[in-house]
Amino acid sequence: MPGSTSVDADGKHPRPVRGPTTRPSATIAHGNSTAVTGSSLSLPCASTPRKARYPAALAKEGDRRRFLPDQLDGEFGVFSSPTTVASKHDDTTTAQAGILDPAPGSSRRRRAGWAWFAGGDGLVLATVPSEASFLGGLGMWVAGMAVVSGFGMTVAASQWWSTSIVNVLWVLPVWAVLYCLIERLVLKSFGTSKTWNLVIAIPRLALSLAIALVVGLPMAQVIYSGSINDELSRTTTARIHQATNEITQAYGAKIATAQKEIAAVQAKEANLQRQVTNSRFLADCEAGLESCSQTHKLGRGPYYKRDARRAAAAAAELKRARPQIAATIAADRRKIALWRSTEAAQITKRVAAIKADRDFLARQAALERVEKASPAVKKYVEFFLVFLIAIDLVALVLKLTHLLSTGGAYERSAAALRATDLVEVHRLEERATVLTRRITLEARAEEETDELRIRGEVSRERDAEARPSRPVVPSVEQA
């Protein structure tokens, strides 16, 4: 019998009998709700003696958490089973629905269409159909701006990489998709808080400024490409002249030094050659030409011998110096030839690099020089950047204006649906708490029951050992 106890042979130690127990049925009465009967739950030893703590704890816990979560229902109940909710949907009308019953048609999901690009969701739009037209129009604008921004980014990529637009057409669909995703996330993040909506608008404004700079400057270069090309031509010519002069001066100094060295050794060789020639002429005059003789005495006397020695010494020195002089001249001429070829190569390379320097930064520098020379160009470029920022923020401004003017029915509906989801989350949390508490109590009851059973068995064994044995009396028949 559930909840009964048994007594040992000695009648002193009651022992609980384990067996399935059934929770008594209970009724929840709240307003006009229907009575709900609890289900059976196996709880061992419901009538264990009072010294076992589980029955008292279970009794207290059972007063509050007697029913399974999926069995509690009612007009104001915490838990509702799917079957009960479905039956209410079928049996109630809009006029008779309770406050906790879902609105008619709220479970239907509507196709978002263009509203998806504006952060719209079909489930929320089904509850506020009046917002569908605005979000649809806003989504069409976002999609169009994605294509325009993708084209601008393609032009910017062609300017960055100095290539044709055809080679970077893949940028258009990639950036268009990214733009749509970014805009959808931003517009979907708006809620019912005005402060939070303004906070969301700040990073979007910064992003719009960055997009305007990234896209607007390259497009301004395309617009003023003629003026930029003229400025680059003038700048290129001046840079080529400057680079050529710098290279020529650097190598010209080296070549001049080598040429001076060649001239010095050649002058030394010519001086030695003149000494040889003059000394030989004077010696010949003393030997046989009275008209040029210094002593007017012909013959090979002391003056002849002196001049002959001078001529021989100069000739010997010239002979010794000629190889060194020839080597020095040859080395200097090779250096000069090498420097001149290097100079020409560097000039050619530098000129080619200057002519090829037409990348994004060079064109932007040329545009800045054009703006400095013509203030009207600078004003137009600034106006163009402001225009790009303004057209990129149209969706954000329209969204904020719609929220402030209409109160944001879509956002309020979305917040209500999120709150409903939180109710379901709370339901699951409470159910987990109930089940956890129940399992804990059952485990404690099992432990205490086992402890009582073991203690009862030990007590019986001790009583059997302490009881005196009776002598066996033979029966009459055996006698």
Name the residue with tokens 């055996």: 478
The answer to whether the CB of 68 falls within 8 A of the CB of 86 is no
Global pTM reads 0.57
Q: Mapping DSSP to helix (H, G, I), strand (E, B) and coil, where does residue 312 land?
A: helix
Please say if the pLDDT value at position 457 is more than 70: yes
Q: pLDDT tens, 118-131? A: 999 999 999 999 99
Classified as helix, coil or strand, 16 is strand
Residue 176 CB burial class (10 angstroms; 0-12, 13-18, ≥19): buried
Residue 307: φ, ψ to 5°: -65, -35
| Alpha-carbon 267 to chain mean position | 75
| 339: pLDDT strictly greater than 90 | yes
In this prediction, residue 319 carries a pLDDT of 87
346-373 pLDDT, tens digit per residue, is: 999 999 999 888 888 898 999 999 999 9
Query: Does the pLDDT of residue 286 top 80, yes or no?
Result: no
3-state secondary structure string, 1-13? CCCCEEECCCCCC
Assess contact for 176 and 388: CB atoms under 8 A. no
What is the percent of the chain with per-residue pLDDT over 70, rounded to a whole number? Answer: 72
Average pLDDT, the chain: 78
- Packed helices 360-373 and 132-160: angle between N→C axes, nearest 10 degrees: 100
CA separation, residue 222 to residues 158, 218, 368 (Å): 10, 6, 14
For residue 15, the SS3 value is strand
Picking from 326, 319, 320, 313, the residue whose alpha carbon sits closest to that of residue 278 is 313
- HSE-CB of 104 using CA atoms within 13 angstroms: 8
**Residue 419 burial by CB count (10 A; 0-12/13-18/19+): exposed, middle or buried?**
exposed
The 3-state secondary structure of the chain, one letter per residue: CCCCEEECCCCCCEEECCCCCCCCCCCCCCCCCCCCCCCCCCCCCCCCCCCCHHHHHHHHHHHHCCCCHHHCCCCCCCCCCHHHHHHHHHHCCCCCCCCCCCCCCCCCCCCCHHHHHHCCCHHHHHHCHHHHHHHHHHHHHHHHHHHHHHHHHHHHHHHHCCCCHHHHCCHHHHHHHHHHHHHHHHHHCCCCCHHHHHHHHHHHHHHHHHHHHHHHHHHHHHHCHHHHHHHHHHHHHHHHHHHHHHHHHHHHHHHHHHHHHHHHHHHHHHHHHHHHHHHHHHHHHHHHCCCCCCCCCCCCCHHHHHHHHHHHHHHHHHHHHHHHHHHHHHHHHHHHHHHHHHHHHHHHHHHHHHHHCCCHHHHHHHHHHHHHHCHHHHHHHHHHHHHHHHHHCHHHHHHHHHHHHHCCHHHHHHHHHHHHHHHHHHHHHHHHHHHHHHHHHHHHHHHHHHHHHHHHHHHHHHHHHHCCCCCCCCCCCCC
pLDDT digits (tens, 9 = 90+) for 171-186: 999 999 999 999 999 9
pLDDT attached to residue 10: 44
- Give 37-50 pLDDT, tens digit per residue: 333 334 344 344 43
Grouping H, G, I as helix, E, B as strand and the rest as coil, residue 14 is: strand
pLDDT of residue 279: 82
**147-174 pLDDT, tens per residue?**
999 999 999 999 888 888 999 999 999 9
The pLDDT of residue 284 is 77
14 - beta bridge partners? 7
Region 401-426 average pLDDT:
90
Backbone angles phi, psi at 6, to 5 degrees: -120, 155
Mean pLDDT, residues 268-281 taken together: 86
Q: What is d(CA 321, CA 315) in angstroms, rounded to the nearest whole number?
A: 10
Sorting pLDDT into bands at 50, 70 and 90, what band is 33?
very low
Query: To 5 degrees, how large is the angle CA 232–CA 233–CA 239?
Result: 85
**C-alpha of 279 from chain center:** 93
- Percent share of the chain, pLDDT over 90: 45
